[in-house]
Amino acid sequence: MTNTVDYIIVGAGSAGCVLANHLSSDARNQVLLIEAGRDTGALSLKMPAAVLSNLTSTTHNWAFQGEPEPGLDGRVIQHDRGKTIGGSSSINGMLFVRGAREDFDGWAALGNSGWGFDDLLPAFRSIENSAIESAGLRGHDGPMSVSRLRTTHPLGEVFLKAASEHGLPLNHDYNGATQEGVSPPQVTQRNGWRCSSARAFLAPARSRRNLTVLTGVDVEQLLFAQGESRCVGVKARTRSFRLLSGGEVILSAGALGSPKILMHSGIGDLAALSALSIRTRLHRPSVGANLQEHPNSVVCAHVNVRTYNMDATPLRMLRNAIYWAVTGRGPASSPYPHAVAFLRSSPNEPRPDLQMLFGPFAFSFDERGILPYAGPAVSIVVNACRPRGRGQLTLRDANPASPVRISHQLLADEDDLNRQIAGCKIARQLLQAKAFAPFIRGEYLPGPETLDDDAWRNHIRRTSFLGYHPVGTCRMGIDNDAVVDPRLKVRDVVGLRVADASIMPLIVSANTNAATMMIAEKASA
């Protein structure tokens, strides 16, 4: 590679791979993509059913440990983030959910011109290749393959019927005109194989002579021109990389990585950075603040038919893996959810405030946390779409190799907790619907003895977990506290942008991967 480049992209995750593809499509641009994880090409990153193995391993997972969470009975929660090319899109649950129109219109209403839903629809359409038709709202020739499941469990259809009995409308496309209703899932898969951002966007560009991809390189700080607020490159642990005149550094290290690099570069709360003896550069206390995440709670029941957690034996896993490798079908092609619902916790809600995922796979719980269940069972995962709780990410010390402190304050807000209680009660009602009557043998988590709100509250605090959707720590806005402006430029710095989930001022009402790729698509323009 050349010693200097036009663009340095830090992080080859969901956003970074999109940026690398587009910026290197102009042969005049010299582009450097830097990733701290490794590019292993492991089969577990391609097989959809390997989601749990990727989350329990640290080979491709940063597995950050958070601070004790007061809203979760003081439990320490693991933060799973992708540690490889493709980032979290290489280990996530593969759901492709844009979010609701109102989410993005809400960003625009905060003064972020160009970020309303109608402004962003072309970017959403251009990233996806979907066979789903929805009145001109979907993309059909983009790099990211979005498909239905190739193998479905029969209880997925039963859940759709149960939701319909409960009054939820069937929705052909929750990425279409409206999010509300119950639907089969849409997943980032191609022919039954995971389609990560690396496979969709980076792989077609890897052969370009003007694109250099470096893995296993941990960027620690930004470099600045002497006495100026102009970013001129980045410093990794063993070497530095510099920009050509007029070039830009783009941080795409995610909601946990991008603010960390900014703070170690002296951009953050000056008092906190000075206390750690970090040379300060720009007072921006909102760096690392505004951390948002979806709380996940679960209701599980025994059933009298075979479910996918019963395939977690060595022989069956091998058989399923071989069948999947040959056909792209079978249990190994399946992520967790086989149905998705967006609904209101009460009739008074102006729009859906809950998301539910139904899976032919269930969980047990002990001191280690949520674990696969041994027998035939199903589960419904409930999350509040737009939680009010706000957390914070801070530095532990001045050493860039030290992990950050992550405090989500998950479910510390009473309103968030009440929505989870309402959602879990509805989940129980769905499992008790007429459609499920021939199959359900009894609820076991939390169990039929959980009746009043205090009992539900104890269950939810004891067992809830993260949606793995951290956003907001480099908030976009037009106010003096915003980290980036609507063009994603770091305010009061030249030659530096942030383009990843950290710029979201408000979390979207769904899984965040699709919106993160959209942000990078817009940033590329």
pLDDT in tens, 204-238: 999 999 999 999 999 999 999 998 899 999 999 88
Single pTM value for the model: 0.96
Q: What is the pLDDT of residue 55?
A: 78
Q: Would you state the structure tokens that stand for residue 208, as one six-digit string?
A: 């370009």
Share the mean pLDDT of the chain.
Answer: 95
Provide the pLDDT for residue 370: 65
Catalytic residue selected from 60, 79, 294, 469: 469
Q: What angle do CA 46, 8, 487 make, to 5 degrees?
A: 95
Phi/psi region, residue 246 (left: phi>0; alpha: psi -120 to 50; beta: rest), is left
Q: What average pLDDT does the segment 261-272 reach?
A: 98
**Neighbouring residues of 90: CB distance < 8 A, sequence distance ≥ 6:** 45, 54, 60, 82, 84, 194, 196, 197, 198
Tokens standing for residue 100:
């609701």
Write down the residue that tokens 């996918």 correspond to.
Answer: 308
Please name the residue ranges forming H helices in 24-96. Answer: 51-56
Known catalytic residue: 338? Answer: no
Residue 326: CB atoms within 10 Å:
9
Render pLDDT for 325-351 as a digit per residue (tens, 0 to 9).
999 999 999 999 999 999 999 999 999
Our measurement of the distance from residue 242's CA atom to the centroid of its chain's CA atoms, rounded to an integer in Å, reads 30
Q: Which residues contact 353 (CB under 8 A, 6 or more apart)?
A: 344, 345, 384, 385, 386, 419, 509
